[in-house]
Amino acid sequence: MHDLRRLLKYLRPHWGTFTLATFAMLLVGLLESAIGGLIVPIFDQAFAQGSGERTPTLFGLQHIIPPSGLEAWKIISILLLAFTFTKGIAEY
């Protein structure tokens, strides 16, 4: 415990940067998961057999994406680009 207090003493002048870096790491993790969550709608669109049943996704993305058609591919593409762009900014 003594070592931790000693290390926190050195962190104190950089507290703002540390908080910003922690927030950015959380955002990167969230967006990485969201990009992985887009795999489900992509496969639902690519291999749809007309059953009408949709697989639930991690972040409820199935409510944003239309059931089928070109509009669904547009939304998936826009979400993928937005997630990747935002993740790149957070990683920087």
Q: What pLDDT does 87 receive?
A: 95
- State the Cα–Cα distance between residues 10 and 86, nearest whole angstrom: 31
Q: Is the C-alpha dihedral spanning 28, 59, 68, 72 positive or negative?
A: negative
What's the predicted TM-score (pTM) here?
Answer: 0.75
- State the Cα–Cα distance between residues 6 and 73, nearest whole angstrom: 53
**Is residue 53 one of the residues assigned to a domain?**
yes
* Position 49, amino acid: Q
What does the pLDDT profile of the chain (92 residues) look like in tens digits?
A: 889 888 889 989 999 999 999 999 999 999 999 998 888 888 888 877 656 667 777 777 777 888 778 888 899 899 999 999 999 999 98
Q: What pLDDT does 90 receive?
A: 94
**Is residue 17 one of the residues assigned to a domain?**
no
Q: Which two tokens stand for residue 23?
A: 């927030």
Pick from 75, 89, 76: nearest CA to 27: 89
Domain that holds residue 71: 24-91
**Is residue 62 one of the residues assigned to a domain?**
yes
**Is residue 66 one of the residues assigned to a domain?**
yes
**Is residue 14 one of the residues assigned to a domain?**
no
Could you say which DSSP state residue 61 is in?
Answer: G
**Is residue 18 one of the residues assigned to a domain?**
no
How many structural domains are present in the chain? 1
**Is residue 28 one of the residues assigned to a domain?**
yes
